[in-house]
């Protein structure tokens, strides 16, 4: 029996031109982009469709932009008779993708999700001066060894595991000097590759505490409804539905580990999920899903052709 989860991508999946094909093809997508523009008081859609990569990559733009594309796809599916509650047993999102997942599942309004992600992006950028923090990918090391690397490299600085993306793909985050040390230690411990990432801030580590406080204040001011299906939370790798719990976990997520390997393992194990559909820009989560559980069927729904194929599959 087919059981699905809808997943939503995180930062790094953005690309200039994102959403443009959807806006050209579907009035529902155009309406989403317009609503996000109005909520932010900015033509974010113009940056997405034909802006410069440098401007789009700014955290304050990339985060709401990725959410907007995911929700545009969701609205188009709804217009074609595909309701999330009828076809997904769970939702999950990678980092900022949790906001997309929650918006798709009815916890946040689209305008609130856009404004929260703008606040989140600005707060994360402001938490650490540019150049003082960074992130690195450690490839070919398991999570336990990556934790050892981070601890050894930290010294008096912050160096934390940030993302457990898939077996052999762990991202660390912290003070620039500590992360640079970690890259060398990881190579000595047998990493296939260890490389600094082109990010503007050290996400998901203790240095993000000021951003966590900003999100606690922001989330206290918005309505959070129970999602129509459970969210498998990044920091728990387990399902939640209670609005107060959702607020708490979204705050913890700013400084906490994105436990993506465990989340997909839970979904495709105890959760009983057989099919994972990634709604949004790119195919990053689809690739990770296949590395985490080769038996799970993973599909990216990103383009108008993908949407047609997905609707046909769900309607069969």
Task: Give the per-residue pLDDT at 78.
Answer: 98
Superfamily of domain 133-199: Malonyl-CoA ACP transacylase, ACP-binding (3.30.70.250)
Q: Which residues are catalytic?
A: 95, 204
Rounded Cα–Cα distance for residues 29 and 185 (Å): 46
Rounded Cα–Cα distance for residues 142 and 120 (Å): 30
Place of tokens 């990493």: 191
Task: Give the per-residue pLDDT at 263.
Answer: 98
For the stretch 193-230, pLDDT in tens is 999 998 888 999 999 999 999 999 999 999 999 999 99
Tally of CB atoms within 10 A around 17: 12
Task: Give the per-residue pLDDT at 198.
Answer: 83
Task: Give the per-residue pLDDT at 200.
Answer: 81
Rounded Cα–Cα distance for residues 40 and 45 (Å): 11
Q: How far is CA 312 from each of CA 77, 80, 82, 216, rounded to the nearest angstrom? A: 11, 10, 10, 41
Whether 235 contacts 281, CB under 8 Å? no
Instruction: Report the chain's terminal Cα–Cα distance, integer Å.
Output: 14
Task: Give the per-residue pLDDT at 29.
Answer: 98
Burial 95-110 (b: 16+ CB within 10 A, else e): bbbbbbbbbbbebbeb
For the stretch 158-207, pLDDT in tens is 999 999 999 999 999 999 999 999 999 999 999 999 999 988 889 999 99
Rounded Cα–Cα distance for residues 199 and 204 (Å): 12
Whether 154 contacts 206, CB under 8 Å? no
Whether 49 contacts 20, CB under 8 Å? yes
Q: Identify the CATH assignment for 4-127+207-315 out of 3.90.700.10, 3.30.43.10, 3.40.366.10, 3.40.50.150.
A: 3.40.366.10
Task: Give the per-residue pLDDT at 192.
Answer: 97
The structure's pTM equals 0.97
CA 196-279-219 angle, to 5 degrees, is: 75
Alpha carbon dihedral 143, 171, 259, 295, in 10-degree steps, equals -80
Task: Give the per-residue pLDDT at 199.
Answer: 85
For the chain, the structural domain boundaries read: 4-127+207-315, 133-199
**CA-based R_g, the chain, Å:** 19
Task: Give the per-residue pLDDT at 96.
Answer: 96
Q: Show the DSSP H helices in the chain as ranges.
A: 20-25, 27-40, 44-50, 53-57, 59-79, 84-87, 97-104, 110-127, 143-154, 176-188, 209-220, 243-255, 260-268, 284-292, 304-315
The parts of the chain modelled with pLDDT lower than 50 are none
Task: Give the per-residue pLDDT at 92.
Answer: 98
What angle do the packed helices 97-104 and 59-79 form, to 10 degrees?
Answer: 30
Task: Give the per-residue pLDDT at 33.
Answer: 98
């Amino acid at each position: 029996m087919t059981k699905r989860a809808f997943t939503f991508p995180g930062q790094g999946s953005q690309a200039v031109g994102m959403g443009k094909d959807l806006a050209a093809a579907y009035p529902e997508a155009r309406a989403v982009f317009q609503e996000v523009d109005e909520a932010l008081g900015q033509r974010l859609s113009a940056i997405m469709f034909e802006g410069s990569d440098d401007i789009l990559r700014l955290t304050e733009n990339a985060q709401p932009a990725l959410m907007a594309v995911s929700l545009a796809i969701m609205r188009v599916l709804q217009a074609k008779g595909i309701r999330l509650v009828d076809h997904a047993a769970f939702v999950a999102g990678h980092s900022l993708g949790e906001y997309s997942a929650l918006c798709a599942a009815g916890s946040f309004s689209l305008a609130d999700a856009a404004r929260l992600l703008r606040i989140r992006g600005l707060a994360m950028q402001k938490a650490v001066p540019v150049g003082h923090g960074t992130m690195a990918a450690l490839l070919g090391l398991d999570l336990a060894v990556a934790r050892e690397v981070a601890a050894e490299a930290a010294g008096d600085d912050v160096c934390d595991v940030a993302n457990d993306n898939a077996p052999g793909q762990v991202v660390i985050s912290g003070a620039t000097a500590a992360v640079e040390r970690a890259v060398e230690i990881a190579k000595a411990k047998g990493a296939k590759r260890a490389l600094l990432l082109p990010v503007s801030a050290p996400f998901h580590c203790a240095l993000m505490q000021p951003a966590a406080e900003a999100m606690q204040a922001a989330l206290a001011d918005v309505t959070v409804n129970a999602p129509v299906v459970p969210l498998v939370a990044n920091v728990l790798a387990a399902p939640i539905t209670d609005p107060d719990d959702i607020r708490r976990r979204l705050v913890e997520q700013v400084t906490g580990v994105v436990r993506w390997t465990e989340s997909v393992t839970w979904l495709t194990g105890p959760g009983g999920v057989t099919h994972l559909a990634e709604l949004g820009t790119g195919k990053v989560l689809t690739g990770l899903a296949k590395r985490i559980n080769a038996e799970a069927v993973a599909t990216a729904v990103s383009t108008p052709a993908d949407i047609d194929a997905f609707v046909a599959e769900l309607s069969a």
